[in-house]
Amino acid sequence: MTESNPGFWYNGNLEAGNCIPISITDPALLYGATHFTTLRIYNQTLTDPRTHWPHHLQRLRQTLPHFIEPNWAQLTEGATYLSKHYEILRLTLFPDGRHLITGRSLPPDLHDRQTQGISVLLLSPDQTRSLPHLKTGNYLAPWLALQDARLQNCAEAIFTDRNGNWLETTTGNLWGYAKGIWHTPPLYNSENSTTILPGVQRSALISLLQSQNIPIQEILFQEIPFQEIQWSPDRIAQFECIAYSNSVIELIPIHTIISSENIKLYEFSANFNPIQRLQNLLFNS
């Protein structure tokens, strides 16, 4: 290992290179049977509040059927070490108790996306994410959707349900702003089934919106800081801006939504003041 290539952490040990031994019968290989979380490192430490380490750890501690718990002390040791070398960590759990921690840099165009916004492809209801309430290694549907988006010169894609409601992007949660109120799609549909991932950054933003003590007129909101209501086409047409969030990119505005036929469906301003204010609140939280 070198300072420029600190390696990765596998099952309690720091390793060099980019390969691990894996059986051809391993469920992780055959079925994508892993559970993971991805976090952004601030100030090279897990203890920076913006890193949300306790929340990512809580996500990993979710009990999955047939998964053996890892050695949490070893996992924390590896994450602590790699947090001093990488801006992003991905922590992966295997069914038999093994764990893997890899690191990478922030996207080089992240600032441009945060300030200029992105175009997004609206997907058909036939493209769905399996076990939407969990971050599992079976990410084939989001990966395929993202490839479709790139063919349309889009940076992201949005999943929808059978009723045309918008759910989430391939990598994050949606946010919309209308008449002084922030909206985000609900975790559950009318049948009480989970439809989206309860993102760590989503929870952080909801807490941030709820905790403001600044006079309401001076910030983004009126009586209600946010609402969780189904995102029907009629509701989307009322939004003044739309963005999406995750733990790595924080909050990115969406300026254009197109259909799979490359028809422009919606346009929004990426420089809308409520987005900029929320980005600032998030960065300084």
- CATH code of 273's domain: 3.20.10.10
The verdict on 116 and 230 lying in the same domain is yes
**What's the pLDDT at 199?**
95
Tokens representing 239 are 């939004």
**What's the pLDDT at 216?**
22
Q: Which of 49, 83, 104 is the endpoint of a domain?
A: 104
Looking at the domain assignment, is residue 167 inside a domain? Answer: yes
The verdict on 260 and 119 lying in the same domain is yes
At 141-184, the pLDDT tens digits run 999 999 999 999 999 999 999 989 999 999 999 999 888 888 88
- The overall average pLDDT reported for the chain is 89
For the chain, which residues score pLDDT lower than 70?
Answer: 1-4, 190-192, 212-228
Q: Which of 70, 104, 138 is the endpoint of a domain?
A: 104
The sign of the dihedral angle between the CA atoms of 141, 65, 245, 113 is negative
- The string of DSSP letters for the chain reads --SS---EEETTEEE-SS-----TT-HHHHH---EEEEEE-BTTBTTSGGG-HHHHHHHHTS--TTPPP--HHHHHHHHHHHTTT-SEEEEEE-TTS-EEEEEEPPPTTHHHHHHH-EEEEEPPTT---SSTTS-BS--HHHHHHHHHHHHTT-SEEEEE-TTS-EEEESSSEEEEEETTEEE---SB-TTS-B-S---HHHHHHHHHHHT--S-GGGSS-SS-SEE---B-HHHHTT-SEEEEEETTTEEEEEEEEE-TT--EEEE--TT-HHHHHHHHHHHT-
**What's the pLDDT at 281?**
84
The verdict on 119 and 55 lying in the same domain is no
**What's the pLDDT at 64?**
82
Looking at the domain assignment, is residue 3 inside a domain? Answer: no
Q: In percent, how much of the chain has pLDDT > 70?
A: 92
The pairing of beta strand 99-104 with beta strand 88-93:
antiparallel
Range of the domain at 49: 8-104
Looking at the domain assignment, is residue 25 inside a domain? Answer: yes
**What's the pLDDT at 193?**
72
Looking at the domain assignment, is residue 35 inside a domain? Answer: yes
The verdict on 88 and 167 lying in the same domain is no
